[in-house]
Amino acid sequence: MEETLPKQELTSQPKSVLSVESLFRRLFAIPEVGVLIPLLGFILIFYLMKPNFLSGDNIATMLRAMSFIGVIAMGQALLLISGAFDLSVGSVAGLSAIVSSYAMVRLNLPIPVAVLAGLGTGALTGLINSFVVLKLGVPAFIATLGMLYIAKGIDFLISKGYTIYPLPEAVNKFGTAEPLNTSWSFVIFVILAIIAAFVLGKTTYGRKLYAVGGNPEVARLAGINPARIQLSAFVLTGMCSSLAGMLLMARIVTGNPTIGMGWELNVIAGVVIGGVSLFGGSGSIPGAVIGLLIMQVVTNGLVVIGVDPYWQTVAIGLIMIVAVAIDILRRKSKTAAP
């Protein structure tokens, strides 16, 4: 008995240490945790440099600012997971805002009809993008880049380069309202994020998106139509773009032809930083949301601490390169694993 007690004590301690190690391994195996840690690090750094960084007003400002990009990112994340992407989202957002405001102001159409016209514009551009990519075989980069220019050109043809106003008072009230000290655009973004996360994690459609993005040929053998899945993702991305454009239109209370300029790269940067692979087949909505938060925290934090605004673009570019490099290394390690 005297000999067994020390043995039990010796074996019990390594088991507890092993359990702690396994807990950390499981924790860090969750992709979102790897993105959350840098986010918390950036928040801590900016807070220590400027405590007012975490003031209620500044937090609300950040959430309002990221909501427009965030709405588009929910569609773009689904499209990226399916193995494609859309560079025209910013121009589509601007075109939809102009179409909607033109319908309300110049054609005197009811607000719901004007909103449907804007959403229809986004759905149509998504449908055209999918046709050019999936039926004509044009690479998504070229097809959607072409749509970027087409949509922006039509935007300026309709508006003649001028803002369209005044919008109806109901649109004004909706756009300038601040529920929970944020905005309706942020509330809508949160709702869309919850829906998108549910779709990806709990539905057959979500599993098909991952399957098509992971390996289209295997997905086809499993009875999935890759073209149909990607077509739906293109249309959803177009509609999310149009919704974001109309939300900003309501916020600034004018149909401005410059709405959406530069959004396309910010959207892709946010979701890629959040772990959504550029090569398809992997990623999550929580990760994409964290990626968008990282972008917003960095850009806002640099302003708060008084850094030249031009460094914001440099910082986002560096973070995106690192995120893509990590994604490539992760994929190589998976393929190299026995």
Mean pLDDT (whole number) for 130-147: 96
Q: Using omega within 30 degrees of 0 as the cis cutoff, is the peptide bond preceding 168 cis?
A: no
% of the chain beyond a pLDDT of 90? 75
* DSSP string for residues in 90-155: HHHHHHHHHHHHHHHHTS---HHHHHHHHHHHHHHHHHHHHIIIIIS---HHHHHHHHHHHHHHHH
DSSP code of residue 167: P
**Chain Cα centroid distance, residue 187:** 15
What pLDDT is attached to residue 334?
Answer: 61
Coil, strand or helix at 255: strand
What pLDDT is attached to residue 332?
Answer: 72
Lowest mean pLDDT among 79-93, 200-214, 299-313: 299-313
What pLDDT is attached to residue 24?
Answer: 61
Closest to 287 in 3D by CA, of 297, 298, 300, 273: 273
What pLDDT is attached to residue 16?
Answer: 59
Question: pLDDT class for 9, splitting at 50, 70, 90?
Answer: very low
What pLDDT is attached to residue 323?
Answer: 77
pLDDT of residue 268 exceeding 50 = yes
Check residues 70 and 322 and name the one with the higher pLDDT: 70
The Cα 206–Cα 194 span in angstroms is 13
Mean pLDDT (whole number) for 71-95: 97
What pLDDT is attached to residue 337?
Answer: 53
The Cα 7–Cα 16 span in angstroms is 15
Mean pLDDT (whole number) for 113-133: 97
- Mean pLDDT for the chain? 89
pLDDT of residue 238 exceeding 80 = yes
Lowest mean pLDDT among 172-176, 180-184, 272-276, 307-311: 307-311
| pLDDT per residue as tens digits for the range 20-41 | 666 666 665 666 777 888 899 9
| pLDDT per residue as tens digits for the range 244-266 | 999 999 999 999 999 999 899 88
Question: pLDDT class for 319, splitting at 50, 70, 90?
Answer: confident
What pLDDT is attached to residue 27?
Answer: 61
Check residues 240 and 332 and name the one with the higher pLDDT: 240
Residues in the chain: 338
What pLDDT is attached to residue 45?
Answer: 95
**Chain Cα centroid distance, residue 21:** 33
For residue 177 the two structure tokens come to 């309202």
pLDDT of residue 311 exceeding 90 = no
Lowest mean pLDDT among 49-58, 166-175, 310-319: 310-319
